[in-house]
Each structure stands twice: as structure tokens, then as C-alpha cells.
Structure 1
Amino acid sequence: MEYRYLPMTERDKNEMLAAIGVASTEDLFSDIPENVRYKGEMNLKKPLNEYALKEELTRLANKNANLKENRSFLGAGVYDHFLPSVVDHVISRSEFYTAYTPYQPEISQGELQAIFEFQTMISELTAMPIANSSMYDGGTALAEAVNLSAAQTKKKKILVSKAVHPESREVIKTYAKGPGLDIVEIDHTNGVTDLEHLERELDGQTASVVVQYPNFFGRIEPLKEVQHLLETQDAMFIVSSNPLALGYLTPPGEFGADIVTGDTQVFGIPAQFGGPHCGYFATSKKLMRKIPGRLVGQTTDEDGKRGYVLTLQAREQHIRREKATSNICSNQALNALASSVAMSAIGKQGLRKLAILNMQKARYMKQQLKQAGIPIALEGLFFNEMVIKLTHPVEHINRELLKKGFIGGYDLKKVSPEFEGHMLLAVTETRTKEEIDSFVKELGDING
């Protein structure tokens, strides 16, 4: 039976107080000095019964601009992709929905196999030999990669492209405070990492270079050229990558990347107000014993039957404590499962077609924008996102677009003042020709 609403009676309250041996609720706060306690009544609404509470919450929820009633062209790390219906059917099964870390393999084979399949698919997409069982999100995974590179090379200098997602860069800076890493940001030119600036900063003290592919502005970074620069120094190559784009683009592993990270929100995970997501972490065999988080391996039992286990746990904090390779001692099993189911439903060939569809629709929109007189600010190779220049503030334009049933793009002024009036647009396979045409028309009318 499902219990959504559990009111607490005075009798319930008294029984709980008696069970823990106190006379009143106030006794629970006896250690807090009187002079710092709030004496008045908090400005809260009165309690409601179940029906009235549901009505109130529904009213509040209806204020949100959801993707069912609006057509979204907002990306910047969270995208509106097709969600195969089979995803919810599988992840809603109680065996998966309530599962925790599968420490006991003899009763967790289903969960362990699902995680192993996730690792396998990420390895294939990135062209890296090993992937872990997932991480909290793409930003966390990237920051973990940075820390691993510093620990592996015994160096402190990290070169991070300014074309990497700004929120991921902030996570990196936060992670870097503990080990005292020196984060040096590399400029971008026309939305792509400035290779001349990168070459000037690259030296014998550099632990790693971090780029995003496709990057935050939607541009496709020249990974071959970056790797060529790294050949002159003993620095690691870290790439944050949209896994959907890897359905078409040459994977980072083929460009010599040491670590590839990213976010699988694009596969089977709805936008849901920005989270939760599912990060992935793939790397080379030489870093196998330093990879953060869970790692599931395939083995055979005493009867020769295939089985799955958590492996190389000596890396982790519950065994090595402060000597662990990472603070991460968990994974995003449910969301990793959602991504695995989505990738399986789409299939290898389907994934390539899906990536191409994103690219084709984005290029159609670019063409329509130009015809409408809306300039593309950062020209060049791109996947499914582009930057446009508008004559009015993006915040104003987005408010007006919402009135027309459209969720506009990301206001790049939030990244830097130099991007005043610039909007980052995303086009996914879910947008139709009619929706793109209508959006461009409305955008052109509002922009003047």
C-alpha cells in the first residue's frame, strides 16, 4: 500500500517523546542557549488536510514551465531528448528501484549485470578500455579526473579550457582546493580552445589538459591538435564529452585521451529541473587501480558459470580510508540503468542515426536563423548547439518567447559580460521542422 500523506496526531507525538525519555519537544533543544532561540511564531501556512494539500501543491507545480506544454531550445548541459517508454518500465521494477550498492554478489547479479552493461557501452562509445559504474554527474566525474591526473603525475598545474562548461569549471576549482592544485584557464577563440595560449602555458609542471568535446558553445574541439601539443610534455589528456555526439564523432580514445568523462543525461534521463544526472568515467588500463567509484567485473563461479562482482575495492575509502584514490564510494545505479536501457533500446545503429538527426536539425535551424537575419556569433564545426547574437537582452527575449510556448536558449551573459546579448541554442531530435520554423519566426519578431 502507498502512503502519501502521514499526519502525526498528538498521541503519536507523546508516544515518541515517551520512547526517548523526554517530556516535551522543547526538551530536545535544551542544549541550545535561550538567547539564540527564535521566540516568535514562524510565518508558515497552517497545516492542510490531504485533499487541500494536494490542491495547493498542484497549483504551485503548475507555475513551472514544463516540457510537455512548451517546446524547448535550451541546452547548456541539460537536453530535451526522446525517452523510450521501456526505460520507466525497467527502472520502476522494485529489484532495481530499491537497490543499493551490491556488496553481496550472490543476491545482486541482476544489478551487477546492469552496471556491467553500462560500463561496456560507455567503453565502446568513448573507445576507452575501462569505464566505471557511473558517477554523480558530468561535473563531478570531470573534477575526479583532474584530481586523478595530479595524483598520477605528481604535478599541480591543470590547464582547463574556458570552453568547458562553466559549472564544471567551478566544480574543478572546488575539488582543487583540497590537494592545492593550480587551475589555469585557457582562453577560447571563436568558441574553440586557443591552441597558442595552450602551448604557452603547457610546461613540465602540467599534470593535465582539460577540454570539452563538443564544448560548451557547441563547437567541436580539434582533439588531434591538442594531443599533438601534449606529445612535447608528460601531461595527461582529459576530455569531457557528450556521449550522444560520440554516436557520430570520432571518440576521444582514438585521439589518445587518457581519461574521458561526461554525463549520460542525454540517454533516458529527463530534464527534471537539472538533476539528478549520471556521470561516466572512462580511462586507460594503466589507471585501472586509481579509477574512482565502483567498478563491476565479469568472472566465473566454481561451476564455470558467468557472474559479476564488485572488483578492485582496495582503491576505495571504506578500505583504504584517507589513502583512497577518491572520496567517491558510490554510483548512480538507477540513472545508469536508465541510460543503459535507453542505449539498448536505441541500438548501435540507432544511436548513430540519432546523432546525425540532431546535427541535421541543428543545421536546418542555423540556415533558417540566417535567412531571418539573426547572425550566428561563433561560426565553425558544431554538433547540435550554436551561439546567436541578438539586439535585445536575452532575458527579455526569453520572457516573450515563453508567452508563445517556447523555452528559449541559455543567456551567455551569465558566463561572461562579453557575451551580452548572446544566446546558446540547442536543437535535438525531438524538435520538428514546424517547431523550428515557428520558433525562428517568433524569435525574429521579438528581436526586431
Structure 2
Amino acid sequence: MRYLPLHDRDRSEMLAAIGAPSVDALFSDVPADALLTEPIAELPPHASELAVERHMQRLAGRNVSAGSVPFFLGAGAYRHHVPASVDHLIQRGEFLTAYTPYQPEIAQGTLQMLFEFQTQVARLFGCEVANASMYDGSTAAWEAVTMARRITKRNKTVIADGLHPHYVSSITTMARFTQDRIDYAPPALSPDCAIAELAARIDEETSCVLVQYPDILGRLPDLAALAEAAHEKGAMLVAVVTEPVALGAIASPGELGADIVVGEGQALGVGLQFGGPYLGLFACREKHLRQMPGRVCGETVDADGKRGFVLTLSTREQHIRREKATSNICTNSGLCALAFSIHMTLLGERGLRALAAENHRLACIAADRLAQVPGVSLLNESFFNEFCLVLDRNARQVVRELAAKDVLAGVSLGRLYPGDDALSRGLLVAVTETTTEEDIEALASALEEIVA
């Protein structure tokens, strides 16, 4: 039974107070085609608990799990093997039920874990400091834009064409409510990252340049050259990493000159989880520490000289006045951060490098084999574990036909860039350590049947 304590009069008074004519008006920013006009047909209006459980189980049975068929989906969310010990440890009561360390004296375990997490992220990204996690990669990217504006006192953001379109969407949505100007255009099906053209868009009004590394097409942009171009104009370089395992094989963004590095931590310890919850990563130069959003945990000693952990920096709205806050993010993905940290600890530096090497080895095998299929060509000149294929026909339809053959072939660019005919033939293929050579052959054989 529904529990709705408010009466029509209560609702009318609240709507009048905020100046909205109706409850529906509160959803005016949601596209009309995304709103339901009638109840969901698959869900009955009334049933017993047992009947609902059976019905939901039948619906769930129609899903195809990532591990049950050859799986090549990526584009910002990656299937990696998560050791069973990660799930076991994060479900310990002292971690699973902890919300956030408002009272440090009784949250030492959580604070210590976040302290170690910060250290791991800072080392992974090649930066001096990192915060205690954020919501996800896309919102972390937006926070980097606002941080760069505060530091440079400029409001123009130049976005490389290879930034994930969902990240671009998050940034442009938030920029509607600020003074930030966004300079962005979708990518072309080209192996060239066009760094010179991107650098030419940087001017004296630019606060930062955002570039994904590796980018949405799997390409590896020259961050060092871009950092030099940005710094010459007084702008900052923000690097976005959606596949942190890549940093076990390629140079870190901080090492190449990035001022702020953000990313998505899902690939380590978290799992696909139907798209969330995920884990935002954020790191920067130490000189910019006080402008970094979120929270920072630090190590200290107590009155007896014993080691302890504290919240060193919390410049968010719940702790300081709104006008002085660096962010309105009011929590962090603590349990996901714990999973990330445990997985990183289990791997260690050697394990991460070995994992990255295996990802790249299998990706090279896949790229070589798939490029032999008639009607298929490999776009990339370099890549880590994800690359772009160019097909002779619409890739979105090919993905659907392959799914009917129980092969999840990848992500079509037509799905990420709907309505862009120039990109409609692009197919992103991701290969991780969970992919077998049999899976690769199954994809190649199915492609040969469909594309040829």
C-alpha cells in the first residue's frame, strides 16, 4: 500500500511557495519522449508479494549476463575479473553499514581506507594529491571544469572531440546554470587525435582543456604536447581516464603534464552493475589542493602520540558557507572506493602492470583477427584494450544482429552519437582479461556471416 502523508492542500501550498503551477511542471526539463504517459505494461498494478517475485524473476531471466556469452562492450564501463575477496571484505558490517565519517573518532577504519585510497589514486594518476572519491567519472569531469574556472578566473572550456559523449552531456547540462562556455564538436572517424587543431582552439579566455586518455575511439592523444599548448595560454589541462587499468601500461596523465586528472574507477573492484553505482576519481597538483572539490582524509597523531586519521579538508556546502564551497557534492561513493582500494591492494604495482599487459595482448589479437573480416577495417593506429572498427554498413544494426546470435559485439557509435551519419559505421570493441581467444573467434566468425 502506498504511503502518501501529504494532502492536496499541502501540495498546493508547496507549489505556490516555489512558483510552480503543478507537479508536472517540476519535470519540464525532462524530454517529452522520456516521460511515461501510461503505466508500464510489464508491471501489473496489483499482485501478492510472491506473485511479484515470480514476475520479476521471469523478467530478469530475459537479460543476458556479461559472462554468459562473448562480451566486447566497453565505452566507459568495462568487464574485469573482480576477486571474490573484494566482495567478501566490503560486506563486513563495519564497512557495509558505514555512511560517511562525520565523527572521525568512531570512523577510524573508514578514514584509514579513504587515506589509502587517495594515495593509490594519486600514484595511479601521477599527481600529488587526490580526494576521497566522487559520484562518478562524468560529474568529476564537471567538477574539474568548475575548479579550473576558480583557479584561472576564466570561463571557456575547450573539450577534445574524443571525450565520452555522456561526459560532454553532463558538462553541458551543468554549464547551463553557470557562466562556463563549452567549445566542443563530435569526433570524426579518423585515427588522428588532431592535437594541433585542438591546441589552436585554446586562447586567452580558456580556463581548461579536457581530453580523454585513451579517448572514446580508443586513440592515445599526445598529452605532453597538449599540456604545453594549454600552459602557454595560461590554461589548465584536465585529463579524463575512463579505463584506469590502462595506466598499468601507459604513462600517467600527471607525468605528461596534466594539472587535474579525473576518471571513472568502475573497472577496478566495482563491476558493471547495470550502470551504477560507480566511482568518481579526482586528483591534482598539490598547489591547487584548496580548490579541489570533495573531501581529503589525512594522517595525524592523537594526544597520546598514537597514529590516527582525520578529515583534513572538507570544502563542501555541508561544512562551510555555500558561497565558499568548492562543490555541492554532499557525499562520496565510499563503498565503491573501498572495493577499488581492495582490488588495487590485491593487485599491487606488478599485478596491475601484468593485468594491463594481458588486456593489451588480447586486444591486439582481436584487432588483428577482426581486421581480416571482409567489410571491416581497423581505425586505430594505437590503442590499449579498446579500438574502433569501421564497417561497410550501419554498425548499430550489425550489433543487433550479432546479439541475436548471442555475441555482444561492442558499442556502436550510432548509439553514442544518434543522428550522426558520419559515425554510424563505427563500432567500439573492448577486450579485457575476461575475453578468451574463443570469444574473439566467435565474434569474427559471426561478423563474417553478417557483414560479408
Q: Does 1:447 align with 2:426?
A: no
In structure 2, the partner of 1:420 is: 424
Q: Which aligned pairs between 1:241-256 and structure 2 lie closer than 5 A?
A: 241=241, 242-256=243-257
Contact 1:293 1:316 in 2 (8 A): no
Cα 1:379–1:337 shift into 2, 3 Å: same
Q: In structure 2, how many angstroms separate the alpha carbons of the residues matched to 1:341 and 1:413? A: 36
Q: In structure 2, how many angstroms separate the alpha carbons of the residues matched to 1:188 and 1:31? A: 50
Contact 1:245 1:355 in 2 (8 A): yes
In structure 2, the partner of 1:435 is: 439
Q: In structure 1, how many angstroms separate the alpha carbons of the residues matched to 2:353 and 2:199? A: 34
1:201 deviates by: 1.6
Deviations 1:350-394 (A, max 9, x none): 100111111111110111012223533423111111111223322
Q: In structure 2, how many angstroms separate the alpha carbons of the residues matched to 1:259 and 1:52? A: 51
Q: Which aligned pairs between 1:68-87 and structure 2 lie closer than 5 A?
A: 68-87=67-86
When structure 1 is superposed on structure 2, of 163-172 and 228-237 the one drifting more is 228-237
Cα 1:63–1:237 shift into 2, 3 Å: same
Q: Which aligned pairs between 1:147-166 and structure 2 lie closer than 5 A?
A: 147-166=146-165
Provide the secondary structure at the position in 2 that maps to 1:260: strand
Q: In structure 2, how many angstroms separate the alpha carbons of the residues matched to 1:63 and 1:234? A: 53
| AA matched with 1:106 | E
Larger Rg: 1
Contact 2:262 2:281 in 1 (8 A): yes
Structure 1 regions of 5+ residues with no counterpart? 1-7, 17-24
Q: Which aligned pairs between 1:51-62 and structure 2 lie closer than 5 A?
A: 51-62=50-61
| AA matched with 1:169 | V
When structure 1 is superposed on structure 2, of 423-432 and 371-380 the one drifting more is 371-380
Deviations 1:12-39 (A, max 9, x none): x9xx9xxxxxxxx798334568xx999x
In structure 2, the partner of 1:104 is: 103
Alpha carbon RMSD of aligned pairs, Å?
2.4
Provide the secondary structure at the position in 1 that maps to 2:319: helix
In structure 2, the partner of 1:5 is: none
Cα 1:388–1:314 shift into 2, 3 Å: closer
Q: How many residues align?
A: 424
In structure 1, the partner of 2:349 is: 348
Deviations 1:187-238 (A, max 9, x none): 7562443223223221111111110101111111111111221232111110
Q: In structure 2, how many angstroms separate the alpha carbons of the residues matched to 1:230 and 1:27? A: 54
Q: In structure 2, how many angstroms separate the alpha carbons of the residues matched to 1:31 and 1:253? A: 53
Contact 1:294 1:329 in 2 (8 A): no
In structure 2, the partner of 1:179 is: 178
| AA matched with 1:100 | Y
Contact 1:102 1:112 in 2 (8 A): yes
When structure 1 is superposed on structure 2, of 198-207 and 350-359 the one drifting more is 198-207
Contact 1:137 1:278 in 2 (8 A): yes
Runs of 4+ in 1 over 6 A off after TM superposition: 41-44
Deviations 1:161-201 (A, max 9, x none): 01010110111112222221111126756244322322322
In structure 2, the partner of 1:361 is: 362
Q: Which aligned pairs between 1:8-27 and structure 2 lie closer than 5 A?
A: none
| AA matched with 1:257 | A
In structure 1, the partner of 2:63 is: 64
1:64 deviates by: 1.6
Q: Which aligned pairs between 1:160-309 and structure 2 lie closer than 5 A?
A: 160-185=159-184, 188=187, 190-241=190-241, 242-309=243-310
In structure 2, the partner of 1:19 is: none
TM-score scaled by length of structure 2: 0.88
Q: In structure 1, how many angstroms separate the alpha carbons of the residues matched to 2:315 and 2:135? A: 21
Q: In structure 2, how many angstroms separate the alpha carbons of the residues matched to 1:213 and 1:95? A: 36
When structure 1 is superposed on structure 2, of 348-357 and 407-416 the one drifting more is 407-416
Cα 1:192–1:165 shift into 2, 3 Å: farther
When structure 1 is superposed on structure 2, of 106-115 and 65-74 the one drifting more is 65-74
Contact 2:71 2:439 in 1 (8 A): no
Cα 1:47–1:383 shift into 2, 3 Å: same
Contact 1:358 1:429 in 2 (8 A): yes
In structure 2, the partner of 1:22 is: none
1:314 deviates by: 4.4
Q: In structure 2, how many angstroms separate the alpha carbons of the residues matched to 1:369 and 1:290? A: 46
Q: In structure 2, how many angstroms separate the alpha carbons of the residues matched to 1:225 and 1:46? A: 59
Contact 2:373 2:447 in 1 (8 A): no
Contact 1:296 1:310 in 2 (8 A): yes
Q: In structure 1, how many angstroms separate the alpha carbons of the residues matched to 2:152 and 2:45? A: 59
Contact 1:136 1:279 in 2 (8 A): yes
| AA matched with 1:251 | S
Provide the secondary structure at the position in 1 that maps to 2:278: coil
| AA matched with 2:225 | E
TM-score scaled by length of structure 1: 0.89
Deviations 1:123-157 (A, max 9, x none): 11111010001111101111100111011100011
Provide the secondary structure at the position in 2 that maps to 1:95: helix
Q: In structure 2, how many angstroms separate the alpha carbons of the residues matched to 1:411 and 1:314? A: 40
1:291 deviates by: 0.8
Q: Which aligned pairs between 1:349-428 and structure 2 lie closer than 5 A?
A: 349-414=350-415, 415=417, 416-428=420-432
1:105 deviates by: 1.1
Contact 1:412 1:423 in 2 (8 A): yes
Q: Does 1:29 align with 2:33?
A: no
Cα 1:285–1:372 shift into 2, 3 Å: same
